[in-house]
Structure 1
Amino acid sequence: MESEYVTTPFGRRPMSLALLLKQRRGEAIAAGTTRNKWKLFRSVCEARAGLGVTDRALTVLDALLTFYPEDELSGEKPLVVFPSNAQLSLRARGMAPATLRRHLAVLVEAGLISRKDSPNGKRYVRRRREGGIDEAYGFSLAPLLARAGEIETIAVGIAADRQMLRGMKERLTICRRDITKLLAAAVEEAIPGDWERMSLMFQTILQRIPRAATIENLMPILEEVEAIREDIVNLLELHEKMQMASTSESQIERHIQNSHTESLSESEPGLETGQGTTTAGQADRDQQPETKPHDGGLNAHTNGGEGSGFAVRSRAGELKSFPLATVLQACPDIADYGPGGRIGSWRDLTTAAIVVRSMLAVSPSAYEAAASVMGPETAATVMACILQRGGCINSAGGYLRDLTRRAEEGEFALGPMLMALLRAKSPAVSRAGT
């Protein structure tokens, strides 16, 4: 064990309180502490940035360790090495004396070694008669052994940070590749989207990547790039869902047309201006020829001389009670779910309705039943109305099934539902309806 008296520096080097504290910490070696000097040196190299030493200073420390005769550093044995400047310079790869002195001072300042100066400032050893060391003057490795645990902890932390930084760089590389190829695929396949803006935003973020990247400055950049990739993937998935919904809607429409051939000529009340549903013209309608569908919208049958009109079902079983523009005016929210964020036709409306149906957790069977009873376009209009009134409806699926049941019983009128939405949006429409 090293002696515990204070060693003041030789010559004109001053003594300081910090130097005294470092000497005391260097002597505070726990009993039984041992380390392999080369493994400990490897930990020092790993923790270099945290210890505040340079690579040249580590070269000098490496040279000092070669003068310690054993591989194990132990607090129970003398830890002072006493090479001359000439020998130390040779083992430090021929380092110049002035440079050698400077880096020795760096090691002392970092608390990895301490000086144990002789009365005349020379480095030497005084041995006993049996050959053992009685007193040695030079550089003590005791601080290195005393801080072994701290050094190893710093080394582990730095290694973990380096591993994390490597992982972040890998994620960033994969993200850059994904975004580049996804944008190219979207543009090549003419998928609707603001791809030029996303590409410009992506390039702007990449310009902020520093040459010497750290965890602190790379993390926000990685988060932004991953957010852009997620936005692109979501847009592409939404486009795919719309394509699948359009295909599903076409299959539903064909199923309805094939399974209701016996009731093609039947008429059901679809729009009324009064309360309830009237059946006074039912016998007359049964005897009249089949009503041919009109491409533009409303097929009406008047009852006597009254002005109340009833929308009747066309040969395809569809109810087009109002123009598409009126439906979109009453239910503007549905347009966000159309192909490309807009609705330009009844097919676009039915496609958007299927997307909304899934979003509102309406079962496919409930929607298919509504399309079967009301017609695909009327069912799509009803879904648009449910979406518009979403805050007032607790269960969209239950509400749609109730409307389907009422439609089967001839008690459902689409007109009042649309007019209520129009009145809620426009005071002028409200006054016109009173």
Structure 2
Amino acid sequence: MESGHVTTPFGRRSMTLGMLASQALAETIAPGKAIDKWKLYRALCEARPCLGISDRALAVLNALLSFYPKNDLAEGVGLVVFPSNIQLSLRAHGMAEQTIRRHLAALVDAGLLVRKDSPNGKRYARKGQAGEVEHAFGFSLAPLLARAEEIEGLAAQVVADRQLLHRLRERLTICRRDISKLVETALEERAEGDWLAIAQHQQSLVTGLPRNATAVQVEAVLDEMELLREEAVNRLEMLSEKRKLSGSPAQTERHIQNSNPDSSLESEPLLETEQGERPAPANGPWNGQQRKPGRDEKTDGVGLKAFPLGLVLRACPQIEDYGPGGGVGSWRDLMSAAVVVRSMLGVSPSAYEEACAVMGPENAATVVACILERGGHINSPGGYLRDLTRRAGRGEFALGRVLMALLRANGGAAGAARVAG
């Protein structure tokens, strides 16, 4: 500051301890200290959440800094700027004068500016005979220079926190993907355990996370999610060891087929693309032949597994509206509902009968439920069902992956779903 005494605000504005502290801090600037004003302003923008100021207040401060003639804020050089509110409004992109006054007060309260009011409250400078400014009344930028290290430290902390949050979100995304894939694999392999509960627990953790979650909140959810992933991995490792000890040729063949890299969830076209978009035939171990189930696997048709009714209803909740009495409580109810939906979608009886013959009645009804769930994405349900039937006959159709994709799309829960069997 240019004087070593305390200055009080003009008019009805009262003096506060914060103003007194800001003025005292401005007196402690080290001799010769200087800093690039725009570099400091960028640090202020980063540290804004910690300083409790708005982006509009920063726009006003930007305008004030533009009236400071030098590029560096330096000790020993006049740090008072004295533009009128009209001039500030022009450099603040036409901001209203009343708004400017409010944000100037916010900057003063935050300890970033010090008022140096004239006797009549006007902002001006008194110059000497040589034209140099001898005394100026307006806003002193000295607190910015005095707090430069503090502001830069806050900005660095904000950047570090943002990077930490980004890394935590990346880990959370990978963990969510891992759990989904592991549950999917467990359902395909008919592993023992309540895998649907794991999927639903994962979904509840994600939905309970606020949209603008902090790093602490994300880390807490990530810890639980990693424990859930560890549990899923341990269960599947135990299943793998068990099958190594008591494996049969049929089980070995099934394991190889399920590991086909060409049948990933993302490449499964069912209910994700419209009719006519089909992948190339799989180059797996079928070689065009029918898949052989293991001894411990319940199958229908050409080896398609019949999945639990509870899973089907969670993935395809709309089918329940067409069941006897407006609900589905058994496989018989689901097949009755599928006949109603088949007629509603315009699927011919012959196409549905062929699907039942190839896939089995339970799986054919499940496929109809899936088509109903994503009916808006399919141009010709009848032609699509025939296409899936042909693919099922060649062993190129993975119903489990479709159900898991729909389960995730529906939020992992269907309130009216009933677990059968």
TM-score under structure 1 normalisation?
Answer: 0.56
Residues 376-422 of structure 1: CA distance to partner in whole angstroms, max 9, x if unpaired? xxxxxxxxxxxxxxxxxxxxxxxxxxxxxxxxxxxxxxxxxxxxxxx
Root mean square deviation of aligned Cα = 1.7
Residues 331-380 of structure 1: CA distance to partner in whole angstroms, max 9, x if unpaired? xxxxxxxxx9xxxxxxxxxxxxxxxxxxxxxxxxxxxxxxxxxxxxxxxx
Partner of 2:3: 3
The answer to whether the Cα contact below 8 Å between 2:89 and 2:97 also exists between their aligned partners in 1 is yes
Q: Quote how far apart the aligned CAs of 1:246 are.
A: 3.9
C-alpha separation between the residues in 2 aligned to 1:106 and 1:203? 43
Matched, 1:178 2:178: yes
Q: Which protein shows a greater Rg?
A: 1
Aligned 1:96-135 pairs, distance under 5 A: 96-135=96-135
Q: Residue type of the partner of 1:50?
A: C
Q: Which stretch of structure 1 is more off in the superposition, 46-55 or 11-20? A: 11-20
1:14 match: secondary structure: coil
Residues 182-219 of structure 1: CA distance to partner in whole angstroms, max 9, x if unpaired? 11111012122321221222222222111111112222
Q: Residue type of the partner of 1:132?
A: E
Aligned 1:375-386 pairs, distance under 5 A: none
Partner of 1:303: none
Aligned 1:27-426 pairs, distance under 5 A: 27-246=27-246
Q: Quote how far apart the aligned CAs of 1:247 are.
A: 6.2
Q: Quote how far apart the aligned CAs of 1:226 are.
A: 1.1
Q: Quote how far apart the aligned CAs of 1:173 are.
A: 1.0
C-alpha separation between the residues in 1 aligned to 2:119 and 2:219? 56
Partner of 1:290: none
Q: Quote how far apart the aligned CAs of 1:27 are.
A: 2.4
2:137 match: secondary structure: strand
2:211 match: secondary structure: coil
Q: Quote how far apart the aligned CAs of 1:125 are.
A: 0.8
Q: Quote how far apart the aligned CAs of 1:26 are.
A: 2.2
Q: Quote how far apart the aligned CAs of 1:223 are.
A: 0.7
The answer to whether the Cα contact below 8 Å between 2:114 and 2:141 also exists between their aligned partners in 1 is yes
C-alpha separation between the residues in 1 aligned to 2:32 and 2:184? 65
C-alpha separation between the residues in 2 aligned to 1:69 and 1:116? 18
The answer to whether the Cα contact below 8 Å between 2:80 and 2:136 also exists between their aligned partners in 1 is yes
The answer to whether the Cα contact below 8 Å between 2:19 and 2:111 also exists between their aligned partners in 1 is no
The gaps in structure 2 that reach 5 residues or longer are 249-295, 297-421
C-alpha separation between the residues in 1 aligned to 2:16 and 2:220? 44
C-alpha separation between the residues in 2 aligned to 1:225 and 1:83? 56
Q: Residue type of the partner of 1:28?
A: T
C-alpha separation between the residues in 2 aligned to 1:163 and 1:19? 35
Cα 1:238–1:32 change in 2 (3 A) is farther
The answer to whether the Cα contact below 8 Å between 1:125 and 1:136 also exists between their aligned partners in 2 is yes
Q: Quote how far apart the aligned CAs of 1:25 are.
A: 1.1
The answer to whether the Cα contact below 8 Å between 2:18 and 2:111 also exists between their aligned partners in 1 is no
Q: Quote how far apart the aligned CAs of 1:175 are.
A: 1.1
C-alpha separation between the residues in 1 aligned to 2:194 and 2:16? 67
Q: Quote how far apart the aligned CAs of 1:72 are.
A: 0.6
Q: Quote how far apart the aligned CAs of 1:62 are.
A: 0.3
Residues 8-30 of structure 1: CA distance to partner in whole angstroms, max 9, x if unpaired? 11111112333212211122212
The answer to whether the Cα contact below 8 Å between 1:2 and 1:27 also exists between their aligned partners in 2 is no
Q: Residue type of the partner of 1:62?
A: N
1:136 match: secondary structure: strand
C-alpha separation between the residues in 1 aligned to 2:93 and 2:23? 29
C-alpha separation between the residues in 2 aligned to 1:227 and 1:247? 29
Structure 1 runs of 4+ aligned residues shifted over 2 Å read 191-194, 241-248
2:111 match: secondary structure: coil
Q: Residue type of the partner of 1:24?
A: A
Residues 257-281 of structure 1: CA distance to partner in whole angstroms, max 9, x if unpaired? xxxxxxxxxxxxxxxxxxxxxxxxx
Q: Quote how far apart the aligned CAs of 1:106 are.
A: 0.2
Percentage of matched positions with identical amino acids: 55
Q: Quote how far apart the aligned CAs of 1:93 are.
A: 1.1
C-alpha separation between the residues in 2 aligned to 1:143 and 1:2? 13
The gaps in structure 1 that reach 5 residues or longer are 249-339, 341-434
Q: Residue type of the partner of 2:15?
A: M
